[in-house]
Structure 1
């Protein structure tokens, strides 16, 4: 009898211990679910999402700045390559352009005047140390240090050549996903005169300009 009761007691205690262990597992699992759905876990997920969004915004900003760098590089290249139609296309249609105190009515007028005044005269333009700031989803500002060399075919009415230094203060606008120059203010800090050149018989040249060259 005592042995039978003892065996029953052991079995009962085992059942209680097993039930307690199962309960512990359930409680632990429930605690895990609670932890996953707790406000702190949600906040951590939001933090990861915000961090991802911040990284995306930073990458887009760097891409925009690089596109503006290339936009300005094309501007200089088209001036020196005498590609005046392509030059005008780097601006918004209603861009405000002021160079050396001259205000131009349109990008087309600006590019055409450069074509008429400089003709085939060789030039070299460069920009450096850009300070680009993205001011909105489709807007930006920039400051460039500039340097240019320009000489004209020698003649009685030829304007003097120069080696100039100055700054571009510009704004940019993204139109249909493409960055364009929206305004330009060119100021010069120094202008060193350069002698004009006499083209050889094989060199193409336009008629000698009759007025001073416009800044470009």
Structure 2
């Protein structure tokens, strides 16, 4: 009896030992598989993360370039709309400005001289074919082809009007998340004189033509 029990106990221990060994092999194999798979998974994650950062950087670059386009568009519009305070606010406080060889002390000096020189004289400014380059964190440069038309009310001592052609070379800086003009170099390649004129007066209720139907 004791002999049979010993045999059964020995067989049971053998089965348990075999099961434990098999489990150990499976666990070890699983760990090895995880170890082998981890570098590939990590590499994939790194690649996806780098691609995401690259895409975000490209989108940011395009947004910055568009913001600079809008900045320059406001520059031209404020000059023509005679919004000189708004014009001065488009620059960094210590921006360097040189136009046609004239060096200006400050953006305010530049804007207010335009105000005093041109007064209400009509003008039309435009910029074309911009080449904008992001040169560093919060920094950029640009080259613009330009044209401007400026005339003064016709009179005895009126300054001569012109149609000018030239180029802006500028730098920009982002301050508190907003792009501003940091330097300007304006060079005109050609200036064609044009006659001055007196723009028509805006219609008033007294001078506007009547469109009322004739009385029958």
Structure 1 position 116, deviation (Å): 0.8
CA RMSD in angstroms comes to 2.6
> TM-score under structure 1 normalisation?
0.79
Give the structure 1 partner of residue 122 of structure 2: 122
Question: Distance in 1 between the 2:21 and 2:132 partners?
Answer: 67
Q: SS of 1:148's equivalent?
A: strand
1:33 aligns with 2:30: no
Give the structure 1 partner of residue 72 of structure 2: 72
Question: Distance in 1 between the 2:86 and 2:78 partners?
Answer: 7
Give the structure 1 partner of residue 192 of structure 2: 192
> TM-score under structure 2 normalisation?
0.79
Equivalent residue pairs, number: 193
Structure 1 position 29, deviation (Å): 3.6
Query: Residues 37 and 95 (structure 1 numbering): CA distance in 2 closer, same or farther, change over 3 Å?
Result: same
Question: Distance in 2 between the 1:120 and 1:67 partners?
Answer: 29
Gaps of 5+ in 2: 1-15, 204-216
Structure 1 position 43, deviation (Å): 2.4
| Larger relative contact order (CA 8 Å, sep ≥ 6) | 1
Q: SS of 1:37's equivalent?
A: helix
Give the structure 2 partner of residue 156 of structure 1: 156
Q: SS of 1:165's equivalent?
A: strand
Question: Distance in 1 between the 2:145 and 2:80 partners?
Answer: 17
Give the structure 1 partner of residue 206 of structure 2: none
Gaps of 5+ in 1: 1-14, 204-216
Structure 1 position 25, deviation (Å): 5.9
Question: Distance in 1 between the 2:201 and 2:77 partners?
Answer: 26
Whether the 8 Å CA contact 1:35–1:41 is kept in 2: the answer is no
Give the structure 2 partner of residue 48 of structure 1: 48
Give the structure 1 partner of residue 183 of structure 2: 183
1:78-126: CA deviations, max 9, x gaps?
0010100000000011110111111110111111111111111111111
Larger Rg: 2
Structure 1 position 35, deviation (Å): 3.0
Q: SS of 2:103's equivalent?
A: strand
